[in-house]
Structure 1
Amino acid sequence: MKEISRISFVIPCYRSEKTIGGVINEIESVMKGLSKYSYEIICVNDGSPDNTGVVLEELSSRDEHIVFCELARNFGQDGALMAGFHLVSGDLIICLDDDGQNPAEYIPDFINKIDEGYDLVFAKYRKRKFNWIKNAGSAFNRWCSIHLTGTPKDIYINSYFAARRYVIEEVRKTRNPAPYVLGQVSTVTRRMANIDVEHRKREVGHSNYSMSRMIKLWADNLFAFSIIPIQISRWIGVVLTFFGFIFLIYTIIMYFFDPTVPLGWSSLMSVMLIFGGIILLAIGIMGEYIGRIYMLGNKNPQFVVREVMAKNREITISREDEE
């Protein structure tokens, strides 16, 4: 495997005008002690409504390590990551958040773990300092990663991770209009590991993950890599049909042995509501897949780049995987 000589950091940015400068300064402070590596910091502004774009433009104009990518609108964290992946030039790509909760001091640990022969290394927080919504989402994503993408049970998936370049090159080939990066990198390789990391408490602002954003993320994770939800709905249908026939036989027998048993309107309505709900659930699951096929056929974009800026060099976005 090629020796690492250059590192690309990819940071999706949203409402981080007060934190992104500190994140970049911390990365550069750590990289000064790792002088054998060249590096770049790719900051993707994901349609932030605040002054994040202004801050990043100013930073990139005076620091040659910073690449500023401005998206045309908000595409979500995974869309921003995909845009950053098309700009990387490093042998190792490290992704981290823009809120300062991912300590850059662990960068050498990521590098050392990759040098041991791993292709993908995730941070594992000793103690998570998220709100309950994001903790619940993380637990669900972990279940999905284990049961849908086949991630080993002892591996914890996290948005703070490092990957060899070939992993990212494989991920950016996907044209899924609703990408889920953590799931996609996990399907590329089984040479993955964790490093223990302290999780910082958020000092500025609040999490951008509302309940609606978390539900969208869960849906992307659940439907992006597996047909298991459809298979589950099929087996639910089989089981309920079986019990339906058993109940029908029981009703017929009871009618002949005890004709005085009253016909139950309430029980009938309950059964109809249950079966109707299950049918609608199955239709909804199939509709989710069909909708994603439609978006893919309609070539809905994962992201749209408005401009890319970097000091003293010209940056072009790599889309060699597209026709």
Structure 2
Amino acid sequence: MAVDVSVIIPVYNSECSLEELYRRLTGVLDGTVQNYEIILVDDASSDRSFARAKLLHGRDPRVKVIGLARNSGQQNAILCGLRFATGEIVITLDDDLQHPPEEIPVLLAKIALGYDGVFGVPDHKRHAFYRNLGTLGIDILLRLIAGKPRELKLSSFRALRKTLVCQIQSETMDFIYLAPLILKYTRNLTHVTVKHAPRQYGRSNYTLQKLVRLCTQLVRYYSKIAEIFPPKINRPQYEVREIHL
């Protein structure tokens, strides 16, 4: 059965944050929308994240849990969640509570104005300097290869309409990055300013080396180079090991 809002959260080694994330999410959504689902996609965590997620599912059937067989990366974990989402509006956010769930109504209010997608952009980013620098580099790269408008700011905290989600989830390439795919299918996008909390749990998985590799892959898969030399599909995007819906 379709719901009003689907919230997709890629989960990786976040057993300590899941309970608070669930409590805060349901507290916001219960007072904002009539029907919703929370989809936790565990990206082969090495801690007890998947077990904690299943406990939440046992307590609340609105929590759907998907366990991936191998670590496939944040973007593929989100793509997996998109393929199971039934909501008219789909929201994606991280599992570390730096994206405060209390800001979700801000995204919903903005997308209600008719946009296909709305990005929640931090008022003040609380990331390491190299990561902020990497974000700036990716922003410039997306302007060059995907035609991103200069004034549009992007974030992994976003609300997307179901029509856009259906287009994105049909992609088959083995390297998935959502930002250029969103820009491929629509320009009816905007952003809003939201709060950004200090990291309370775990540590960032991003390194300077990963950011450099990301930029290289963006050029390889999403620039004109991909039209001239189409990349081969080397492996499945992800493999689902266990599902609790």
Taking structure 2 as the reference length, what is the TM-score of the superposition? 0.94
Q: What is aligned with 1:302?
A: 237
1:169 matches 2:201: no
Aligned-partner Cα distance in 2 for 1:12–1:216: 21
Cα deviations by residue, 1:84-130 (Å, 9 ceiling, x for unpaired): 01100000000000000001112111111111111110011111101
Q: Which moved more, 1:99-108 or 1:203-212?
A: 203-212
**Aligned match for 2:137, one of 124, 133, 140:** 140
Aligned-partner Cα distance in 2 for 1:18–1:210: 22
Q: What is aligned with 2:221?
A: 224
* Paired residues of 2:220 and 2:231 also in contact (CA < 8 A): no
Aligned-partner Cα distance in 1 for 2:168–2:200: 32
Secondary structure in 2 aligned to 1:86? helix
1:26 matches 2:16: no
What CA RMSD, in Å, does the superposition of the two structures yield over aligned residues?
Answer: 1.8
Count of aligned pairs? 243
1:58 matches 2:55: yes
Q: What is aligned with 2:90?
A: 93
Aligned-partner Cα distance in 1 for 2:160–2:102: 17
Q: What is aligned with 1:189?
A: 186
Structure in which a larger fraction of residues adopt helix: 1
> One-letter code of the match for 2:231?
I
* Paired residues of 2:118 and 2:189 also in contact (CA < 8 A): yes
Q: Which moved more, 1:94-103 or 1:53-62?
A: 53-62
Aligned-partner Cα distance in 1 for 2:126–2:49: 24
Cα deviations by residue, 1:53-94 (Å, 9 ceiling, x for unpaired): 111111111111100000001000011011101100000000
Q: What is aligned with 2:198?
A: 201
Aligned-partner Cα distance in 2 for 1:191–1:71: 32
* Paired residues of 2:103 and 2:195 also in contact (CA < 8 A): no
Q: How does 1:66-77 map to 2 (within 5 A)?
A: 66-77=63-74
> One-letter code of the match for 2:181?
Q
Runs (4 or more) in structure 1 with deviation over 6 Å come to none
* Paired residues of 2:38 and 2:63 also in contact (CA < 8 A): yes
Aligned-partner Cα distance in 1 for 2:198–2:74: 20
* Paired residues of 1:180 and 1:220 also in contact (CA < 8 A): no
* Paired residues of 2:45 and 2:71 also in contact (CA < 8 A): yes
Shift of 1:144: 1.7
Tell me the percent identity: 29
Aligned-partner Cα distance in 1 for 2:177–2:118: 17
Shift of 1:5: 5.9
Shift of 1:209: 1.1
Structure 1 runs not aligned, ≥5 long: 231-285, 311-323
Cα deviations by residue, 1:227-251 (Å, 9 ceiling, x for unpaired): 2xx5xxxxxxxxxxxxxxxxxxxxx
* Paired residues of 1:7 and 1:40 also in contact (CA < 8 A): yes
**Structure label with greater radius of gyration:** 1
> One-letter code of the match for 1:31?
L
Cα deviations by residue, 1:276-311 (Å, 9 ceiling, x for unpaired): xxxxxxxxxx9xx86x723x2x5x11111111103x
> One-letter code of the match for 1:159?
S
Q: What is aligned with 1:41?
A: 38
* Paired residues of 1:20 and 1:100 also in contact (CA < 8 A): no
